[in-house]
Structure 1
Amino acid sequence: MLNRVVLVGRLTRDPELRYTPNGVAVANFTLAVNRTFSNRQGEREADFINCVVWQKQAENVANYLKKGSLAGVDGRIQTRSYDNNEGRRVFITEVVAESVQFLEPRNSGGAGNESFGGPPSSAGNNDFGKQPNRSSGFDDPFANDGKPIDISDDDLPF
């Protein structure tokens, strides 16, 4: 059996960081993920997907991501339920993130930023916030050299 989810989208609000009674960090956030098709009016719709991440990655998400940040999430779908104060059963479906990738520079403006002037703020799961070594002769082919980047929505995989 397989339960795997891969998402790329923008945070709809700042992540909420909490700690369990045992001191384990947990962060919740919602990711807006564009659909690959347009509706009858020609507009693109989005799905708003609740995500949860645990431990050190939860702290990194809370420290480095904010509303509008572009992020990639790799994880699994989980459902749970509880009884609310009114005695009604509430069902929740969310993505439990095993990996969260920061997909734009830390100092970018977030939503609507079309050109990215540097490397992502994360090179992998254990390198959050570190910048790559910029020693002799490294030319970033994706660096913003002041010219607009012309990319059609049809060219993007998400």
Structure 2
Amino acid sequence: MNKSIFSGRLTANPEIKYSQGVEPIAILNFALAVERKYKKEEEPNVDFVNFVAFGKIAEFISKYCTKGKKIGIIGYLKNKTWKDENNKTKTFTEFIVEEVELLDKKENTENESKGITDEETI
């Protein structure tokens, strides 16, 4: 099973892009600052985790989230592997968003606090 759950704060304002083609799809790459439960001395207590969201979820995050906003994510891990110009294998790890929920309760409206999944539409 490949399933992950995160909560953290957006590191930047999301910038949505759309794919090229007959039916463009919304694509959103973003990072969350995720606090570690336990901190070792002289190490940061935050990890920066890369995510990508598609379709309605990407549009939802772009519309309702700004830098510093706390959100919850359910998704799965995906590795991208390629060869660089020196024929060395490079790997990039990201998480594909399947569900998102807004966690900053003071600013949530009734509709926003429900979040969205990849099966829902807004």
Give the match's secondary structure for 1:37: coil
Structure 2 residue aligned with 1:32: 33
Give the paired residue count.
116
1:91-111 residue CA offsets vs partner (Å, 9 max, x unmatched): 210000101111125xxxxxx
Equivalent of 1:122 in 109, 113, 122: 113
Give the match's secondary structure for 1:39: coil
Structure 1 residue aligned with 2:76: 76
Instruction: Using the TM superposition, name which of 95-104 and 77-86 deviates more.
Output: 77-86
**Which blocks of at least 5 consecutive residues in structure 1 are unaligned?**
106-115, 129-158
**CA shift in 2, pair 1:118/1:71, >3 Å:** closer
The CA distance in 1 between the partners of 2:28 and 2:108, in whole Å, is 27
**CA shift in 2, pair 1:45/1:80, >3 Å:** same
The CA distance in 2 between the partners of 1:83 and 1:16, in whole Å, is 28
Say which one has the larger Rg. 1
Q: Is the 8 A contact 1:9 1:32 kept in 2?
A: yes
Which structure is higher in strand share? 2
1:32-73 residue CA offsets vs partner (Å, 9 max, x unmatched): 1100112225x7611100000100110111111111010000
1:71-91 residue CA offsets vs partner (Å, 9 max, x unmatched): 000000000124567776532
Structure 2 residue aligned with 1:55: 55
Question: TM (normalized to structure 2)?
Answer: 0.80
Higher RCO, 1 or 2 (CA under 8 Å, sep at least 6)? 2
**Which blocks of at least 5 consecutive residues in structure 2 are unaligned?**
none
Structure 2 residue aligned with 1:138: none
The CA distance in 1 between the partners of 2:32 and 2:84, in whole Å, is 25
The CA distance in 2 between the partners of 1:117 and 1:27, in whole Å, is 22
**CA shift in 2, pair 1:38/1:57, >3 Å:** same
**CA shift in 2, pair 1:3/1:67, >3 Å:** same
Structure 1 residue aligned with 2:20: 21
Give the match's secondary structure for 1:73: strand
